[in-house]
Amino acid sequence: MSLASDIVGFWSLVSRIDVDAAGRRHIDPALGADPLGVLCFAPGRFAAQFSRRDRSDVVGTPSSATVARANNSAALNGYDAYFGTYTLNESEGLLTVTLDAALSAAGVGQSYTRRVRADLDSLVIQLETAAVDRTPITRTLTFERVR
């Protein structure tokens, strides 16, 4: 099979891990250490949603968004959602998404490139971004296919 056909489907987030060059884990305060998430791919289109597991302690108002960092969207009150189009560079394992709409208006029209690998049951997406304190990190998102 091809990467293009392997990613099509509905995926549930298993883990979202951010580590710096020294291997230290960074917890994103917006979504927490163990967020919920779903990702859906159809040919050329995608949608994603992420939520902090416990939003009862989220501080902020509906208009306060976490500042978007390099190669990253912005969460709002412990929640992030966006959808749009995507292209794949299968030979290099690169996925580029372009946001048609996003919970944070700053994300609309933005394009982000991530490394991706998939098989029948798992999808792993990696990207270079920054922690809240601007420390460069690698984010690894692991999903399992929903059947």
Give the mean pLDDT per block of 10 residues along the chain (147 residues): 93 97 94 96 97 77 46 77 97 96 91 94 95 92 97
The domain tally of the chain equals 1
The predicted structure's pLDDT at residue 61: 40
Q: What is the pLDDT of residue 63?
A: 38
Cα–Cα distance list, 105 to 8, 39, 66, 73, 79 (Å): 27, 20, 12, 10, 14
Considering only CA atoms, which of 52, 22, 16 is closest in space to residue 135?
22
Angle among Cα 16, 17, 18 to the nearest 5 degrees reads: 125
**pLDDT, position 77:** 83
Q: Domain span at residue 50? A: 3-145
Is the whole model's pTM more than 0.85, yes or no? yes
Q: What was the pLDDT predicted at 1?
A: 76
Residue appearing with tokens 């995926």: 11
Pair of tokens at residue 121: 């049951």
CATH label of the domain that carries residue 103: 2.40.128.280
Note the pLDDT of residue 138: 96
